[in-house]
Structure formats: structure tokens, C-alpha cells
Amino acid sequence: MEPARNGGAQAVHDRRAVRQRCCGIGRGIGPSDLWRRQVRAARHTQANIRPGQRVPPERKHPPVVGHRLPRRLILLDVPTPSSDDAFAEVKAKVDLVKVVQEHVRLTKRNKDFWGLCPFHQEDSPSFKVNPQMQSWYCFGCERSGDVFTFVELIEKTDKRGALQLLAERAGVELKKLSPEQKERSDSRRRMLAMLKLAAQFYEYVLWSTPAGEPGRRLLASRLVKEETAREFQIGYAPAGRGFAEYLRAKKRSLADAQEAGLLRRDGTDFFAERVVIPIRDERGQPLAFTARTVRQDEQRKYINSPETPAYVKGRVIFGLDLARDEIARRGHAVLMEGQFDVITAHGAGVQNAVASSGTALTDDQVRLLKRFTDELLLVFDADRAGRQAAQKAVLLAAGHQMRTRVATVEGAKDPDEFLRAAGEDAAKQWEELAAKAPSGFEFGMEEAAAGLNLSNANHVELAARKLREWIAQFPAALQEDYRERAKRWMGVSGHLLAAEPDERRNSGRPNLQKAGKNGLEARLAGKKMTVGRYLLQLLAVRPVAFDRVRTKITPDELDEEDRGIYVRMLETYERGGVFGLEKELAGYPAEEQDLIRRAWAAPPPNVDEEVAVELAERIRLDHMRGRHSGIIRELSEAERGKDSERVARLEAEARELARAIADMERRG
């Protein structure tokens, strides 16, 4: 090699000339072009090396010349693509297909894998994974990349964060973490290890020590077999400081256990005297615990781990690690509410059962389930809250293009109780229950019509309004089909289920002060339409509102012309329920029959129990104001007659009534 020339100016000139020849400077080629050239050069070099051929030193690494890294990148200490450490080592040890399969259901076609893109909504698969190139591309949104890009997008992190996540997965130790990043990574790793150790400890106590006897009795009372309990790694936390002593014996940190929500500050077990159920991720790693007391005098039956860096409850599906294979085999997941629902279900052979862990279903949980199936069978608690939760889950799943069915357990409060009561016939009864489960949309239709008589024209209108509201919550692409299905199911003309007219879109509890022409004030504008008469019309349309109205007013508080029909309608409701009025209407006076039939033919704009309550409260308030005015008049007479005893009594009544009126006005 020619020795360097003397002279600073000449040296600078020579370096510039070399850089121009190597980098193309002066020909419009910038840093990104340089990088692409280097990549192509590297590929060309690899392609022209035959197996077994000795690689000359200068061909191992193409020279990186020209542009320096900005100082801010150097300070971040991020490994560069030319380095032979973190990125290359992690990428070599991680399979892109397996990483993607944790978030997307993939189907193999020839040599590639296809699925629905996780980065935009679509109905047909346009997301392709190439296992040979370890790359992915979406033909819909046109995103593409490698395993690092995928993790960046799916986990909403940067490249450094993606590297950390994948390095943990691959077992690669990163040498260039900042102190803060290393502490977070180490803390999370210690927490997961501590949770795994705790699960093993609790399980050992339950099955292998006398201290676990209360837990074994509880499981036996719930008909949970040992085999099933061990599958779920159920354990028992003894009283006192058993776990803390165990950690000391193993020379493990109590601070780590406290951070994971396992120990209290004084070292006692957070879950003491409780059956402990691990909440594991889809790979079986314990993330948290839920625990059921064994004591009869304990008010809180269940307690749960707090949320931690390792556990966010809205992102975990209980039992998915055990159910995922059966979900794939059966083509659907059975989604329940509680952990014991799932445990009992698995013991009865329903091994595709999972749970949202007693919380309202979240978007993250639906996305997690969608990786394994497109269909959910929802089996929630039988009470009103459970039915409402099922309806919300139907809508949430529909937003992710998932099909749903809803099964209702009969004669039991939840799936756990239903399956335990079935005994040896549990599997058979479950299949019968699942077979007759309506679709999620049909379940919502049945809920909308519950308690209504669809042979009554007014009830049909009310059911139609509820169905319009139900259909409007689904994705727009489904609404027309659902309107057709609802029309056939109800046997009504399509106009009843068309989008609500403008004046009825703002349904619900009205503001009586701002109701406008379509509200209460306009309804009362007619000479004969009093508040009491409006209430009677509403009660004729929705008799169930009597349950609340009769606690708000007495018949004496109504005007004399409304009092008789109110009493008659109330007695009819008490005898015959919501259908009593139809049966007994023929026995009413002609004028009252006419009022009720007119209400059925042209219902009030808001057939709502809350409106009925507001009307009743207004009637009571008007009655109280009238009574107060009467007392004031009597008080004037008493003062003129110098009846001091009567004056004192009336003044007391007036003060008490004035306070009551003020209270009602404040509440209103």
C-alpha cells in the first residue's frame, strides 16, 4: 500500500476523493442509498461464496465508509445493523412464524402463511408471512418488515423495546441496556420467577401438607377433582408467614414477593387461608392469583393480585393455556365469567372453556381470543347483570368480526352451579344447552322483547324501538341483514325497524325542562293533557312502571278526574301483571276504555319507567305546593281569629312542608 502523502491539505483531498469513489458523493447518492448498496453488496458476497470456500477477510464485512452516525444515536448506545451482537443473534434464534402466530391465526398456503392483518380491519386474509425470508407483508395496508418491525407495531414499542422482548424470548442477554432498561427487564424477570415459585409453593402446601386440609375440603365441596385442580395448578396459602419463611430458606428476596403482591409489609401472606388459583398467560406462565377464602366469617370471598408490570387483568384470558388446543379442535371457545366456572367446566369435559376473570370483556381480550378462533359461545351468569354482560360481549365480538352464540343456564345462577348439579350427566346436559344456544344477535332480540306481548300493537312498537337501538350498535355492514332477520322474527313490516326518525333518536330519560315540541311540555300543551293524564297514558303502555310509581305517589295526590282510573289500573296490574289490562279492559267505563285505547294507538314519545317516575314526582310536588298554599290561607284565617294554638300548629306544618318542597326541587 502506498504510504500516506505529506501535507494536511493533500491528505484531506485524498480522503475526499476516496469517499467520493466509494460513496457516490457528487452523483446524488445519500446515506439511505449507501446503506442499500452495502446490503446488496453483502447479499452478493454471500451468494458468490461456495460451500466450504475460505472467505477472505476483506469479504466478511463490507466496508462501512462515508457518513458518521449522529451523536444522539451514539449516546443512545443502540446496537447498529453492522454489529454482530444483539439484533443478529436474536433474529437467528427467533422464528417469525411462531411470533406472529401468538397474535394472528395463520393458515399455510404452499410455502407461505396467511392470516388477517392485525394492524387494520379486514374480512379476508391479506397478511403474508414468508418463513424462508423471515419477513411479512400486508397487501391491504402495505405494511411490511421483519420480526422486529412486527413486534414494534404489535406491542406499540420502539426497536429497542422489540429487541428486549425478543431477547427475553430467545434467551439472549443484552449487553447494551441502559441502567433503567436493565432494571425494568430484571425486575419483570424476577417478578415472573417469583410468581412461578409461589404457584409451586401453594400447590405443594395444598396436596402435600396437613396445612392444606382446609383447601382440600373446599375443593371437595365444589366437586373439583385433584386431577383437574392440578391442571390449573390450584394451591393453598396457609395462615401466617409460611411463604416468607420458605423464601428465606431459599435465600430469595421478600421485597420481590411484596412487589408481586404476594406478601404484606409485615411479611404475612396476602392470600393467607385461601385457595389460590394462578392466572396464567396463554403459554402457562403465572402472572397473578385469585384466591377464595375457606373461612365462613370472612366477608370478602375473593381477593385478587394487584396489577403489576407483569399483569394487566384486561389483557389476560383465564384458562387459555389449557384450552387453546381444544378451541382449535372444536372451532370455538366457551367464554364464561368466573374461574370456578372454567375449572368445573374442564372437569366436566368442556375443555375449550375460558373466562374473562369476572371483569367486563375488553378489546384486548377479544383480540387475544381471535388468534385462536372466530366464534365464541358466551355462557355468563343467569342474573340481569350476566345477561347485560353477554349483550355487551356480543357487540364487542361483532366489532372484531367474531361470531357469537349465547347459552343461558337454567335453574342455576352460573355455569359452575349448573354443571355441578348435573352430576354424571353434566357432559350430556352441556351439549344440549350448547345445541340450543341462539346467535348473539337473536339473544339480543329475545332480550328486547322480554316481558312484552307481541300480539299487543303497543308492545310491538316498544319492542321495535328496542330492536332498532340493538341493531344500531352493530357494525354498519351487518345492520341491513339484521333488520331483515328481526322483521321476519317479529312478523312486522320493515318500516317499524327502519332507522328511528329524527325526533326519536334522543331516546332515554328526558330533560323535562328542555323537552321541546317532541317532549313532555309539548305533550301537555293541549287543554286536556294534564301531567296526571300523561302519566295514565304511559302506565297504559308500560304497566310495569306501576312498580316504581306507586312508591312515589298516593291516589289522593292525583286530580279527582284521574284518581279513579289510576286506582282501577293499579288494582288490575296487581291482579294480572303486565297483561292484566288487556284482559280486564272491557269492564272499564267507556271513557276510560277510550283513553287507554288512544294511548295504545298513539303512545307517548318516551315509554320509559324513568319518565313515569319523573311524572309521579311532579304530581307529588304540585300536590305539596297546593297543600302549602292551602295551609298559608288557613294560617291567615287563624291569625285573624287570634287562634294561637292553631297558628302554631299551622306554622309548624307549613315549615315542614316548605322543607320537603325545597328538598324535592333540589333533587329535580
To the nearest whole percent, how much of the chain has pLDDT over 90?
A: 40
pLDDT score recorded for residue 30: 41
**Digit-coded pLDDT (tens) for 573-603:** 889 887 888 889 889 998 898 888 888 877 7
The widest CA-to-CA distance across the chain, in whole angstroms, is: 132
Name 581's Cβ contacts closer than 8 Å, sequence gap at least 6. 540, 543, 569, 572, 573, 596
Burial class of residue 560 (count of CB atoms within 10 Å of its CB; 0-12, 13-18, 19+):
exposed
pLDDT score recorded for residue 146: 92
Name 202's Cβ contacts closer than 8 Å, sequence gap at least 6. 235, 236, 237, 243, 271, 276, 289
CB 243 within 8 Å of CB 198:
yes
Question: What φ, ψ does residue 145 adopt, rounded to 5°?
Answer: 155, -160
Name 65's Cβ contacts closer than 8 Å, sequence gap at least 6. 18, 19, 22, 23
Q: Measure the CA–CA gap between 62 and 40, rounded to whole angstroms.
A: 10
253 versus 455: which is more confidently predicted? Answer: 253
Q: Measure the CA–CA gap between 542 and 592, rounded to whole angstroms.
A: 16
Partners of 405 in beta bridges: 377, 439
| Cα distances (Å, whole numbers) of residue 48 to 45, 133, 145, 540 | 5, 18, 26, 89
**Digit-coded pLDDT (tens) for 157-208:** 778 888 888 988 888 877 656 777 777 778 888 999 999 999 999 999 999 9
Q: Measure the CA–CA gap between 326 and 344, rounded to whole angstroms.
A: 16
Q: What pairing do the DSSP bridges indicate for beta strands 302-304 and 375-378?
A: unpaired
Name 498's Cβ contacts closer than 8 Å, sequence gap at least 6. 468, 483
Q: Which three cell numbers stand for residue 116?
A: 388477517
Please give the span between the terminal C-alpha atoms of the chain, in angstroms, as a whole number.
96
Q: Which three cell numbers stand for residue 42?
A: 453483502
Architecture in CATH for domain 312-437: 3-Layer(aba) Sandwich (3.40)
Half-sphere exposure of 233 (CA within 13 A, CB side): 22
Residue 611: alpha-carbon gap to chain centroid? 31
Lowest-confidence range among 178-187, 231-240, 518-527?
518-527
Report the candidate in 317, 275, 319, 322 with the shortest Cα–Cα distance to residue 295. Answer: 275
Lowest-confidence range among 51-65, 458-472, 486-500?
51-65
Q: Cell 393455556: give the residue.
A: 321
pLDDT score recorded for residue 660: 86
pLDDT score recorded for residue 541: 84
CB 608 within 8 Å of CB 509:
yes
Kindly tell me the sign of the dihedral angle through the C-alpha atoms of 527, 533, 534, 537.
negative
One-letter identity of residue 16: R
Give the Cα-Cα-Cα angle 66, 72, 74 (nearest 5 degrees). Answer: 65
Is the domain spanning 74-177 CATH 3.90.580.10? The answer is yes
pLDDT score recorded for residue 201: 96
Q: Which three cell numbers stand for residue 372?
A: 385462536
pLDDT at 11 over 70: no
**Digit-coded pLDDT (tens) for 333-345:** 999 999 999 999 9
Report the candidate in 489, 501, 590, 574 with the shortest Cα–Cα distance to residue 539. Answer: 574
Average pLDDT across the chain, whole number: 80
Partners of 311 in beta bridges: 308
| Cα distances (Å, whole numbers) of residue 7 to 10, 13, 16, 605, 607 | 5, 10, 14, 96, 97
**What's the average model confidence in pLDDT over 85-111?**
86
Q: Measure the CA–CA gap between 234 and 177, rounded to whole angstroms.
A: 37
> How confident is residue 639, by pLDDT bands cut at 50, 70 and 90?
confident
Instruction: Tell me the whole-structure pTM to 2 decimals.
Output: 0.57
Q: Measure the CA–CA gap between 83 and 568, rounded to whole angstroms.
A: 89
**Digit-coded pLDDT (tens) for 279-294:** 999 889 999 999 999 9
Q: Which three cell numbers stand for residue 288?
A: 397473578
**What's the average model confidence in pLDDT over 503-522?**
39
Q: How many helices (H) and strands (E) are present in the chain, helices listed first? A: 30, 13
607 versus 228: which is more confidently predicted? Answer: 228
Q: Measure the CA–CA gap between 476 and 256, rounded to whole angstroms.
A: 49
Q: Measure the CA–CA gap between 83 and 68, rounded to whole angstroms.
A: 15
Q: What is the CATH number of domain 210-311?
A: 3.90.980.10
CB 546 within 8 Å of CB 570:
yes
Q: Which three cell numbers stand for residue 630?
A: 292551602
pLDDT at 528 over 80: no
CB 154 within 8 Å of CB 101:
no
pLDDT at 522 over 80: no
Q: Measure the CA–CA gap between 85 and 87, rounded to whole angstroms.
A: 6
Question: What φ, ψ does residue 83 adopt, rounded to 5°?
Answer: -75, 155
| Sheet-wide strand order for 302-304 | 235-237, 274-280, 286-293, 302-304
Q: Where are the domains of the chain?
A: 8-67, 74-177, 210-311, 312-437, 442-500, 518-665
Residue 98: alpha-carbon gap to chain centroid? 26
Which range of 56-60, 277-281, 604-608 scores highest in mean pLDDT? It is 277-281
Q: Measure the CA–CA gap between 396 and 439, rounded to whole angstroms.
A: 14
Report the candidate in 597, 575, 577, 574 with the shortest Cα–Cα distance to residue 585. Answer: 597
**Digit-coded pLDDT (tens) for 106-165:** 999 888 899 999 988 888 899 999 887 889 999 888 899 999 999 988 887 778 888 888
Q: Which three cell numbers stand for residue 349?
A: 369435559
Q: What pairing do the DSSP bridges indicate for beta strands 235-237 and 274-280?
A: antiparallel
531 versus 14: which is more confidently predicted? Answer: 531
